[in-house]
Chain A
Amino acid sequence: MSRTSQAAVIRRKRGDYRQKWAFLFCLPNMLFFLVFFVAPAIVGIWYSLTNYNGLKRMDFIGLENYIELFKDPEFYKILLNTAKFVLVYVPLGYVAALGMAMILVSDTMKGSTILRILIYWPTLLSTIMVGLTWKWIFGENFGLINYLLESAGLPRIGWSSNAVAAFLTTVIAGVWAGCGTNMLIFIGALKQIPEELKDAAKIDGANAWEIFKAITIPHLRPVTFMVVMLSAITGFKEFAMVQTLTNGGPGTATTYMIQYIYTTGFTKLRVGYASAASMVLFVILLVLSFLQSKAMDSGDEQ
């Protein structure tokens, strides 16, 4: 055997041995991926094609669940509720987070750290706690807001009996809870903008609004996209907070997708039907994630 081929054999052996280690390092996560991601996904698709009711009965019924779903006015209502929530929650959360980031970005500002901490604080609470906190504030008979309204001579608002008011409470609680994280992401991005650019614009006579429009916003574009998509996904996933705050009521006015899937699948035991709804939500999230990864890629290129 020639020397070079001997070296090649040694190298290959070493390669095999390293590959084994690499595989070993990944093995736990691979098993996890198969058991807790692939398996439920397949089971979910299978369920959605059956009339499974959580007990014994499970017959294959093809696309019947999907057909029923797309004819079901209740499903459309829930979908619309969720979409409405996302459409209000995402822009509001975006403006709030960006606004606070702009105010608190400078490290020289006295107290900016403590203010950041205060605004970040609610993100530490569990979703249940967020729901509870606002339930206490928005209580119809005992809540602070209605008390303040009354003291100001205004009529009380039926925060849990009026559909629009209940919707607003879920938006407020959602924005409040998620703002801190996004604010920090924006602060990180704002710090990346070179100061010279702004100084140059100032010398050219640009005012604050023009600088914001011409320099800040374009620089924030990749991060903006990421934040918007992540918030949209969070919005579509809202569950425990709303369940605690309004329990989906009044009626189904604030019942969003996950709660609907949960009630249909676990309380009403229509597992097949709930799984079909899951798949619809999955497609929505898939599109959002796809858009997000596209935006991240173009952000990396910059």
Chain B
Amino acid sequence: MRRFLNILKYVLAFAIAFIWIFPVLWLVVSSFKGGNELFRYPMTFFPDEPTLANYQEAMEQFNFLMYTFNTAFITFIATIITIIMSSMCGYALAKYRYKWLNVFFFCLLATTMLPTEVIMRPSFMVVYKLGLYDSLWGCIIPTVGTMTGVFLMRQFFITVPNELIESARIDGANEGKIFTRLMLPICRAQVAILAIFSFRWRWNDYIWPLLALRSPEKYTLQLALRTLSGAEAVNWTVLLAASVITMIPVLIVFIVFNKQIMTANMSSGVKG
């Protein structure tokens, strides 16, 4: 009986996992089917004649290099600024005791209640007035302050013993030095987690590019994908190949760092 239940559990688990992964598999195999095979009945799972024609066409119609460059630029710069800001702020919130810090912490918590999506038009106005409209910086600056990042860092720095900081103070190190020389090196693991998450947020971001970018030559991959899929007659041959290409970088990062990502998710509930 017990054994039977165990086998049942296995079958169930694999069935669910298969169902879960299937939509993406279907998208990927479809992208290797030629234009005539794509809409042919009866359907087959594997392409009869696997072809890279869709990818070739996507490369020609879709300025991948440019979109990838824009997306990578935004992701890279935004992630660096996010890490610097979050670790500084998280450290201050964890290791200094002032009333105004508590107030500020509550202010930061409040930001999670009013997401950008809700106030898109006013946020657009702010970006416009700051002169960031139609510039890649318009997708960078408005995203670098993140409550999740600050919180992640704060939770880590709380666990660092105060004696470590006190003894550095007695040795005459100033606060800035303590932070950069002593604190930053020991929070490497948290920085890595934040970097991975930030990479994903920015690479997949849609709202800010939508609000801040206008010229097609500044589009990010997501925005370009959306333009392709929003067209009157969707060109699936190009779209399938294009979408497979855009998810490759995130996939690589996940394959390399899946342990860190899943542990972070499990323990803190960091939303991706």
Instruction: Give chain A's interface residues, CB within 8 Å of chain B.
Output: 17-19, 21-22, 24-26, 28-30, 32-33, 35-37, 39-41, 43-44, 47, 100, 103-104, 109, 111-112, 115-129, 131-137, 141-142, 144, 147, 151, 176, 179, 181, 184-185, 187-188, 223, 226, 230, 233, 237, 239-240, 243-244, 247, 258, 261-262, 265-266, 271, 274-275, 278, 281-282, 285-286, 289, 293
Q: Say whether chain A's binding surface is mostly helix, strand, loop, or mixed.
A: helix
CA distance A262 to B116 in the complex (A): 12
CB–CB A41/B179 < 8 A: no
**In the complex, what residues of B have CB within 8 A of residue A117's CB?**
258, 262
Which one, A17, A22, A289, contacts B101 given CB within 8 A? A22
For B205, give the chain A residue with the smallest CB separation.
Answer: A126
Residues in B76-117 with C-beta less than 8 Å from chain A = 84-86, 88-89, 91-93, 96, 98, 101, 104, 107-115, 117
CB–CB A104/B145 < 8 A: no
**In the complex, what residues of A have CB within 8 A of residue B122's CB?**
39-41, 43-44, 47, 275
CB–CB A26/B89 < 8 A: yes
**In the complex, what residues of A have CB within 8 A of residue B230's CB?**
243-244, 247
Question: With A22-B98, A103-B12, A121-B20 as given contacts, are A240 and B226 in contact (CB-CB < 8 Å)?
Answer: yes
- In the A-B complex, the 6 residue pairs with the smallest Cβ-Cβ separation, listed nearest first, are A32-B145, A126-B204, A188-B266, A21-B175, A25-B92, A40-B122
Best-surrounded residue of A22, A147, A258 (most CB of chain B within 10 A): A22
For A173, give the chain B residue with the smallest CB separation.
Answer: B23
Closest CB-CB distance, A70 to chain B, in whole Å?
18
Q: Mark B223-264, 1 if CB is under 8 A from A, else 0.
A: 001100110000010011001001100110010001000100
**In the complex, what residues of B have CB within 8 A of residue A258's CB?**
117-118, 120
Question: With A103-B12, A136-B30 as given contacts, are A123 and B20 in contact (CB-CB < 8 Å)?
Answer: no
CB–CB A33/B121 < 8 A: no
CA distance A176 to B17 in the complex (A): 11
For A138, give the chain B residue with the smallest CB separation.
Answer: B23
CA distance A294 to B61 in the complex (A): 52
Residues in B117-131 with C-beta less than 8 Å from chain A = 117-126, 130
Which one, A21, A123, A142, contacts B38 given CB within 8 A? A142
CB–CB B206/A127 < 8 A: yes
For chain B, the count of residues having a C-beta within 8 Å of the partner chain is: 88
Which one, A25, A119, A134, contacts B17 given CB within 8 A? A119
CA distance A144 to B125 in the complex (A): 43
**In the complex, what residues of A have CB within 8 A of residue B186's CB?**
none
CA distance A281 to B121 in the complex (A): 14
Best-surrounded residue of B16, B23, B126, B240 (most CB of chain A within 10 A): B23
A-B CB contacts (within 8 Å), total count: 246
| 23 cross-chain CB contacts under 8 A | A22-B96, A22-B98, A24-B176, A28-B89, A40-B119, A103-B13, A115-B14, A126-B204, A126-B206, A128-B229, A132-B225, A133-B23, A133-B27, A141-B39, A144-B43, A147-B41, A181-B271, A230-B269, A266-B121, A278-B121, A282-B119, A285-B115, A293-B109
Question: With A103-B16, A144-B43 as given contacts, are A33 and B239 in contact (CB-CB < 8 Å)?
Answer: no
Closest CB-CB distance, B109 to chain A, in whole Å?
8
CB–CB A176/B101 < 8 A: no
Question: With A18-B96, A126-B206 as given contacts, are A118 and B21 in contact (CB-CB < 8 Å)?
Answer: yes
CA distance A275 to B204 in the complex (A): 26
Closest CB-CB distance, A28 to chain B, in whole Å?
5
CB–CB B119/A44 < 8 A: yes
CA distance A108 to B12 in the complex (A): 17
For B251, give the chain A residue with the smallest CB separation.
Answer: A124
CA distance A202 to B63 in the complex (A): 62
Indicate whether B185 reaches chain A with its CB closer than 8 angstroms.
no
Closest CB-CB distance, B142 to chain A, in whole Å?
5
Beyond the given A33-B107, A124-B251, please list 6 additional residue pairs across the A-B interface where CB-CB is below 8 A: A119-B16, A129-B204, A226-B269, A240-B206, A243-B226, A258-B118
Question: With A181-B272, A247-B230 as given contacts, are A188 and B267 in contact (CB-CB < 8 Å)?
Answer: yes
**In the complex, what residues of B have CB within 8 A of residue A22's CB?**
92, 96, 98, 101, 175
Closest CB-CB distance, A130 to chain B, in whole Å?
9
Question: With A123-B272, A132-B243, A184-B262 as given contacts, are A285 and B145 in contact (CB-CB < 8 Å)?
Answer: no
**In the complex, what residues of B have CB within 8 A of residue A262's CB?**
120
For A141, give the chain B residue with the smallest CB separation.
Answer: B39
**In the complex, what residues of A have CB within 8 A of residue B109's CB?**
293
Question: With A21-B176, A185-B269, A282-B118 as given contacts, are A33 and B21 in contact (CB-CB < 8 Å)?
Answer: no
Q: Mark B41-64, 1 if CB is under 8 A from A, else 0.
A: 111000000000000000000000
**In the complex, what residues of A have CB within 8 A of residue B254's CB?**
121, 124
CB–CB B118/A118 < 8 A: no
Indicate whether B187 reaches chain A with its CB closer than 8 angstroms.
no
Closest CB-CB distance, B134 to chain A, in whole Å?
15
Best-surrounded residue of B13, B114, B121 (most CB of chain A within 10 A): B121
For A187, give the chain B residue with the smallest CB separation.
Answer: B266
Closest CB-CB distance, B92 to chain A, in whole Å?
4
